Homo-oligomer: A and B are copies of this chain.
Amino acid sequence: MMNIPTSNHPRVVIIGGGFGGLSLAKKLKNKSFQVVLLDKHNYHTFQPLLYQVATGGLESGSIAFPIRKVVQNFNDIYFRLAEVQRIDTENKKVIADIGTIFYDYVVIATGSKTNFFGNEMIKQNSMAMKTIPQSLNIRSLVLENFEAALLTNDMNEQNALMNFVIVGAGPTGVELAGALAEMKKHVLPKDYPDLDIRKMQINVVQGASKVLDAMSDKSSKKAEEFLKKLGVNVWLNEIVTDFDGKKVSTKSGREFYAETVIWTAGVMGATLEGFDQAVIQRGNRIKVNDFNQVEGFTDIFAIGDVASMMTEKTPGGHPMMAQPAIQQGELLALNLMRLRDGKALKPFVYNDKGSMATIGRNKAVVDLPKFQFSGFFAWFVWMFVHLISLIGFRNKLVVFWNWMYNYLMFDRQARLIVRPYKRKNEESFEMHN
């Protein structure tokens, strides 16, 4: 039973409290809609900083925000902690674990999840980093590996425990590799004086011919240079084909003996059941028109990572990042009002504000539509943009303070093993943890 009261206003059910879902909900505030917001967590996750949680730079609470707090003063809005299974498009019902609910409009804003491309071995043995629990698992595993490395006299085992393979060199992989390299440089030698930390290896294995392959060549080159300067081994044009928990194999025949593989090499839309296969596009994303309407429907929408809006400029859909999700959520709020009022809908035009990635202290790359830059200023811009994008004054301040502390003290203080060492990527685990 969802226990949502009836309302005089049309009901919009939003599935997902990520960047897209929340920006939509905020714009619908007190706009004569009843909004039902569903998420499987009771908090919004600021995913761009998950890698800092994984490497002990930030606590998980600093990059999460209670969804109920976001919508505290909204009229006629109902948040429910729920996992949605299916949309019954014929009867206009959303079917979730806590019950079903009728909708006038439904918005799928379920984001994306890690794509292991069907490789069960890799899925079972490697770590994903899309949620806070997963990031905390990585943090625990990294630290537990060093504790275990202290205890063994088998040098092969010790090397494997201190060998980290990051698959994928998109922003997540690059940022994670850089953060691990800084731990290696500044934190771990002090924490483990009786261990030769020089033996720690950080490998980034990238299938494409450059790191950050969605960015400009200039930024890619610079990022690779930064990574190498930090001691990260960068492997380009290498496709990881297997990881049995001990050995990583690539298509070209290369092998890495490592206990830890972090998989950032692919994401896929977190779609729901209830749609024809024809609606599901490449990358498991839902095909939408310029108004984010799911193909074949006028009352069902998809926004953000899970939506694939193919335009001339974006034949493969928009990039799976925060900005398209936020902008689509904002426009959709307007379009829902226009739809209700019988007005023509406005098509979505993506305002590409650029992209950026940080590799380490004073080391970042920024691509703006017109020009690119890197180094200290880029790093400063990266920090500023991420700081103002965080929800909530308290989180902004706590993150700012932590960054200042980490920068000045060359420290990462959140290195507590508070979660078990688990290499599970099942949905059930993500949900309940």
Name A's B-contacting residues (CB within 8 A). Answer: 1-3, 5, 41-43, 59-62, 64, 66, 68-69, 72, 78, 80-81, 98-99, 132-133, 136, 143-144, 147, 150-153, 190-192, 194, 392, 394, 397-398, 401, 405, 413-420, 432-433
Contact = CB atoms under 8 A, between A and B. Distances in A.
Contacts of A413: 61, 66, 69, 392, 394
A433 to B, nearest CB: 6
Nearest to A392: B413
Contacts of A416: 41-43, 60-61, 64, 66, 132
A59 B405 CA distance: 18
How many copies of the shown chain assemble into the complex?
Answer: 2
A99 B151 contact: yes
24 contacts: A1-B153, A3-B150, A3-B152, A3-B194, A42-B143, A43-B417, A43-B418, A59-B62, A60-B416, A61-B416, A64-B416, A66-B191, A66-B413, A66-B415, A68-B192, A72-B191, A80-B151, A132-B416, A136-B418, A394-B405, A398-B398, A401-B401, A420-B432, A420-B433
Contact of A152 (B1, B136, B153, B191): B1
Contacts of A417: 41-43, 81
Contacts of A98: 151
A416 B66 CA distance: 6
A3 B152 CA distance: 8
A142 B194 CA distance: 43
